[in-house]
């Protein structure tokens, strides 16, 4: 009975917390970092330190083929990855 209660509580916590990434597993694997120079939020892999996603605030402008009217995490593609990675590295990794 206690095991079921613990499992149920863990599942509720996963569902109730803010989802910073695309799914709960990615939420555990990535940490949110704010670049002070650009006031840009990034999701960075906790182990490797590689930038994976960046936050796109609400906008009607088409970015990578779709508009983020409510804001969302978008993947950092190869052509932009080096720029965001360099900015993250320059501000110093914790």
Residue spans per domain, the chain: 19-90
Over its length of 94 residues, how does the chain's per-residue pLDDT go in tens digits? Answer: 888 888 888 777 766 555 455 677 777 888 889 998 888 999 998 889 999 988 887 776 766 666 666 777 888 888 889 999 999 999 876 5
Cβ pair 3, 13 in contact under 8 A: no
Name, in order, each residue with C-beta under 8 angstroms of 85's C-beta and a sequence gap of 6 or more: 50, 51
Query: What was the pLDDT predicted at 18?
Result: 53
pTM of the model: 0.65
Query: What was the pLDDT predicted at 28?
Result: 80
In three-state form (DSSP H/G/I as H, E/B as E, the rest C), the secondary structure along 1-42 is: CHHHHHHHHHHHHHHHCCCCCCCHHHHHHEEEEEECCCCEEE
Cβ pair 44, 33 in contact under 8 A: yes
């Amino acid at each position: 009975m206690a095991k079921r209660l613990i499992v149920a509580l863990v599942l509720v916590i996963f569902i109730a917390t803010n989802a910073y990434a695309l799914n709960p597993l990615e939420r555990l694997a990535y940490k949110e970092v704010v670049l002070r120079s650009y006031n840009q939020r990034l999701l960075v892999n906790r182990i490797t330190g590689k930038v994976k996603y960046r936050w796109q605030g609400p906008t009607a402008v088409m970015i990578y083929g779709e508009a983020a009217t409510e804001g969302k995490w978008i993947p950092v593609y190869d052509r932009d990855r080096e720029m965001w990675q360099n900015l993250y590295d320059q501000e110093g990794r914790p």
